[in-house]
Structure 1
């Protein structure tokens, strides 16, 4: 592990991880809370028509693109103007902390307390549910009916959990069993390349599936070229 990463991890643990923090409890809360609310949404369905189920793939693509633009935008660029107070914490937590805690040549956490640097804080999970999923779900239900609204909310929650678990998996040890799951090796490589400081501001912004990266030409293939051109210099 590079000395700069080891030094930053030590400072991060001292400043940001409380004495009573439990990584496994953090992970359990994320999984259990998300699954519980997702099941609650599905239990509200009342004989949905076939077209209502189209909400699932459409929502999947929509959230994938929101993941892409959220990561490419405020998570990697310091916000200015009226967005500064609202989004500065997102940039600080992701670029200034997460990317310094995990470097492309030091991707694995050392122990369960390091889950703090990977998973969203519980307060942000609650914020995500109340401030984003609830209002957008009400709007979708108003436009498409109650069943469509519940399917939309359930898909967003399932995608969020998928995001958290995949991101968690990328930061496990290379020899962990999770790396042998189908497709995991490829997804881990994409995220590892994103953690290279030369690439992180330009390529591989999808944490889950690279739909947005493919659509907008920011998928780094790992062979030193992108669309026939050499990879650029330092991240912007």
Structure 2
């Protein structure tokens, strides 16, 4: 991916990984548009980054996506990068009856949201000389964390969707990439001060370096062993991973 001279939309760009990515790309002379539901987060990010733009967008709502897309393309006709970053993570217990609201909100935000956003913009992106779609999944797509089983399932689905999208666009001008973060110190699950999570700054530094390569999957060093675990004998590793998370001592 070319890291300069782009017009970039980042969903969930008002906080966490989304904001940090937005700021890193903004510093590289890209026109960055952050999108999200929480107006206060968007305004705070804009105040700290003069020249960045924002649009309110609820990726759970197809009508909001339709309205935002029309506004974006009218105001930013050179839009050529979509980063599907918006997501939620909620604790669940798959061994018990699930709260349906948790199930629906997680699947809608994490899976339907990126698919709908990409669908809304894909014809425009294909008309650009160079374009990129970046989907943010998680290493938990490959090594699921049982205390957030629905979240992990949506991220595994995003990985699968990304592979299919990449195949369909292989003869187009659109590059398809996937960022699979490890546990990062953000607001997600109140992890800002979690010592087991990767600090945000080095995560962004390594991610930006990887984005500049030809790699289709963007992985920081700490994420690579988890990404490489997938295989027919993965269950023992997954069991150990969950045991260590639940009983870190």
Q: Structure 1-normalised TM-score? A: 0.30
Structure with a larger share of its residues in strand: 2
Structure exhibiting the larger radius of gyration computed from Cα positions: 1
Q: What TM-score, normalized to structure 2?
A: 0.29
Question: Which is helix-richer, 1 or 2?
Answer: 1
Q: Which has the higher contact order (CA 8 A, sep 6+)?
A: 1
